[in-house]
Structure 1
């Protein structure tokens, strides 16, 4: 009987993954259906899909998690604060042909700052007639090990830098989700500011 129960559970899980296997239909993460919504950033110049339950990290939590004065401009987080999406629009001239070099420089910089980090893949995605470069790595923080994906892409001639992080043990659950999110980013040209435009 126990064997049959396991078979039924496996079949139900396979069905759930088939039915909800993308950020369009929702994705099961830890047995919970995570649905996504499109948010608009930087006066409508960036659109990205994030989980519907994620909100702006409260200022006091942001100051604790990112004590550096140069903390991210925008931080979207879950209720427990252990899965985060951050965004920075840097006031630097930036174009598609600079993406790979910038991605590699960010990677090298983090290797210098965190020599104990473990680096995995580097990749590129074509989005909105330009290029997005990303890499992922494991870092060490006060609360334990973190899994991170950092990426960059040009937005209206400026440099958008984004970072995703979660607990390292959840890396496999979130990596494919995050890569789907990166592929779905939409960029729009026009006058652009550093303020959030959600």
Structure 2
């Protein structure tokens, strides 16, 4: 077994469970970090979704070392709800959900160490794992991007069958301090086009912070 295969196996059960739970329960590049004044100025940013302007706010992950923006209407999923939706002990540590619980964004560190230049191969192998274990209805594909802060992110996109509906899924994989971090975004396939701007904003807003934390950012209750 080669080095990359070991990483893939260590993540297979965690990733498969996270995606399956969503489907069953739904009714290192240099980082050009903006300065602190820009963070404060962007606190009241909005995102256009069709004819609506959705207010955004910053959240921190990884012990205040990274941040991303999300609609203000999203909130941390209650522990009781997360235990029901993600019954495994491997549930994501941070789960933000929409008011009706149909749109979710999660982040979770993994135990896999990886160099940034190994990430593209890792993403493709994870995609192969997903295709083999998930009830995929529509495989959209994989993509490697460098977001506006300079963070390299691998994205896997697909639609999977749920209990009574199909769900759109995005898996985000990036490296932080040599460790693979996995994020997910999911919503009902019927709402996919409406929510894609939020998924894109999550990807593009991810950035490392120049200081450990910022008092105006909300930190997850089960902080990564």
TM above 0.5, one fold? Answer: yes
Runs in 1 of length 4+ with deviation above 3 angstroms? 127-130, 188-191
For structure 1, the 5+ residue unaligned runs are 1-22
Asked if the contact 2:49–2:195 (Cα under 8 Å) also holds between the matched residues in 1, the reply is: no
- The verdict on how the C-alpha distance between 1:28 and 1:129 changes in structure 2, with shifts beyond 3 A counting, is closer
- How far does residue 170 in structure 1 lie from its aligned partner after superposition? 0.8
- How far does residue 180 in structure 1 lie from its aligned partner after superposition? 2.9
- How far does residue 130 in structure 1 lie from its aligned partner after superposition? 3.9
Deviations 1:108-146 (A, max 9, x none): 111111144421032222144441110210012224211
Deviations 1:132-182 (A, max 9, x none): 110210012224211011110101111110000001101111223312321
Deviations 1:11-46 (A, max 9, x none): xxxxxxxxxxxx9332235x5432111111111122
Q: Any residues of structure 2 matched to 1:90-101 within 5 Å, and which?
A: 90-101=110-121
Instruction: Tell me the residue number matched to 1:34.
Output: 54
Structure number with bigger Rg: 1
Q: Distance in 1 between matches of 2:163 and 2:82?
A: 15
Q: Any residues of structure 2 matched to 1:1-198 within 5 Å, and which?
A: 24-28=45-49, 32-127=52-147, 128-188=149-209, 196=223
- How far does residue 183 in structure 1 lie from its aligned partner after superposition? 1.6
- Give me the TM-score of the superposition, normalised by structure 1: 0.77
Asked if the contact 1:150–1:162 (Cα under 8 Å) also holds between the matched residues in 2, the reply is: yes
- Give me the TM-score of the superposition, normalised by structure 2: 0.69
